[in-house]
Amino acid sequence: MEKFQQSMYQLIVETSTKLPKDVRRAIARAKARENAGTRAAMALTTIAGNIKMADENVSPICQDTGLPTFKIKVPVGVNQIKMKEAIHAAIAQATKDGKLRPNSVDSLTGENSGDNLGVGVPVIKFEQWEKDYIDVRLILKGGGCENKNIQYSLPCELEGLGRAGRDLDGIRKCILHAVYQAQGQGCSAGFIGVGIGGDRSSGYELAKEQLFRSVDDVNPNEQLRQLEEYIMENANKLGIGTMGFGGETTLLGCKIGVMHRIPASFFVSVAYNCWAFRRLGVKIDPETGEIQEWFYQEGEDVDFARELEKAEQPAAAQLGDKREIVLEAPLTEEQVRNLKVGDVVRINGMIYTGRDAIHKYLMDHDAPVDLNGQIIYHCGPVMLKDESGNWQVKAAGPTTSIREEPYQGEIMKKFGVRAVIGKGGMGAKTLAALKEHGGVYLNAIGGAAQYYADCIKSVEGVDLLEFGIPEAMWHLKVENFTAVVTMDSHGNSLHEDVEKSSLEKLAQFKEPVFK
């Protein structure tokens, strides 16, 4: 069990810090397809650089290391209780070493356990089989993409697509709608697993199980194979693109499974996964606990370091004639009102992190620092103390901003905040506040946790650490922190525009395709 625990630690670290070959190839294909000089091209170049940095630093690809989910097949007679204990120990060690962010929170008290352990966490699902080795698969699925999972009960009415019936064509409509509703909030371009049938819980389980398939495999069910190919071709015609910026690639993979159901229920369940598709597996010798083989590593690898060397210009410089503006906080209303959707900004100076707990706190309390003219960053970083007791940033990409929609506009006006950084955009309430108050929303590249950690030059302080590391307010000094203006103080929203145009494109798939 000691060796098995070491093997599990190795699996956890590798899954968190290095994308498997099949995923890397899918991202490289998307990057090659994208038109030069676009926001999507810039985002994909940033993503490629982030993958390279995670490889080199052996640090989390994305700061949201998700809820670890293990699927394990064991020979008869293997002690699953001891295996579970070993996995728990490996999870705690990986968290302590900064390879996982402490993500386990008591649902009633909000208290963070600090070690990624808790009731039902991590998820470990065992299955016996008659083979003589242990098969362990691990997926780290973050909250941004998990929140874009969706389940349909057929028949139903779908925006843009009309009636979805209890047939293959109704399933087709549900899957296209699932991609549409995710927009950029799930860190597109993404991967989806689809489960047809079952009940509400088993349907979602089947959908997530599809994410353990290789990106390059072929579905043995002919009808599902055709449906997967159809979705891959046509979902990319919606124009949502990387980060919801618009573009050629919205979906990187689609895998569909089917199971029986009861006559009264017909569920289509969709599990959405971001581009940072952290899923690996190992073959374990049950006698020694050693790794015998790694899964998802077949075929050609993509060296993103070499790919980036071919680029003649850095990511932000590839935006052609689009404006690039340097900002340094505190910002004035005049500076903010001069910004327009599409501008690329480079931020120097101080920014302050704030997620769900901070926003809720600020509604009823004074801010721990003067936020007048300042920038709030929707981010829950991975932080470690060095030997001198100073905090070091190990990963620091943006979290999905829409969760803060109930609070954001009021907080900006209450404290004089001028800019918010996040991903996926925000809604009508925040857009109205930006126009009234003179504020701006800046979209950073979701999942690019190493890229942005490199922009953070020092940790100047922290407040409300009692909320846990991800939810505390970190005071960060940054240089050349790059983001795109996607909501401005003039009532313009790129997210609103992309959602509207993608809905119009979705409507073209209303007519039946599969009989």
Mean pLDDT of the chain: 95
Q: Alpha-carbon distance 175 to 152, whole Å?
A: 9
Contacts of 264 (CB under 8 A, 6+ apart): none
Average pLDDT (236-264) is: 97
Q: Alpha-carbon distance 409 to 428, whole Å?
A: 10
The pLDDT, as a whole number, for residue 515 is 74
What count of other Cβ atoms lies within 10 Å of the Cβ of residue 298?
11
104 and 49 Cβ atoms separated by less than 8 Å: no
Tokens of 472: 């505390």
Kindly report which listed range (236-245, 300-309, 389-398, 460-469) carries the lowest average pLDDT score: 300-309
Q: Give the pLDDT band (50/70/90) at residue 384.
A: very high
The pLDDT, as a whole number, for residue 314 is 47
Residue 345: φ, ψ to 5°: -115, 145
Q: Give the pLDDT band (50/70/90) at residue 322.
A: low
16 and 91 Cβ atoms separated by less than 8 Å: no
**pLDDT value at 316 more than 50:** no
Q: Give the pLDDT band (50/70/90) at residue 308.
A: confident
Residue 259: φ, ψ to 5°: -145, 165
Q: Alpha-carbon distance 244 to 274, whole Å?
A: 12
**pLDDT value at 118 more than 90:** yes
**pLDDT value at 317 more than 70:** no
Q: Which residue has the higher pLDDT, 279 or 318?
A: 279
pLDDT tens-digit map of 184-210? 999 999 999 999 999 999 999 999 999
Q: Alpha-carbon distance 442 to 420, whole Å?
A: 6
pLDDT tens-digit map of 405-448? 999 999 999 999 999 999 999 999 999 999 999 999 999 999 99
Contacts of 194 (CB under 8 A, 6+ apart): 171, 175, 178, 207, 210, 254, 255, 256, 257, 268, 269, 270, 271
**pLDDT value at 277 more than 50:** yes
Give the residue from 154, 147, 175 showing the smallest Cα distance to 267.
154
The pLDDT, as a whole number, for residue 311 is 59
Q: Is the pTM of this model over 0.85?
A: yes
The pLDDT, as a whole number, for residue 321 is 53
pLDDT tens-digit map of 6-55? 999 999 999 999 999 999 999 999 999 998 889 999 999 999 999 999 99
* DSSP tag of 117: -
Q: Alpha-carbon distance 403 to 447, whole Å?
A: 17
Contacts of 64 (CB under 8 A, 6+ apart): 101, 103, 142, 143, 144, 380, 397, 399
pLDDT tens-digit map of 87-115? 999 999 999 999 999 999 999 999 999 99
**pLDDT value at 306 more than 80:** no
Tell me the CA end-to-end span of the chain in Å, nearest whole number.
Answer: 53
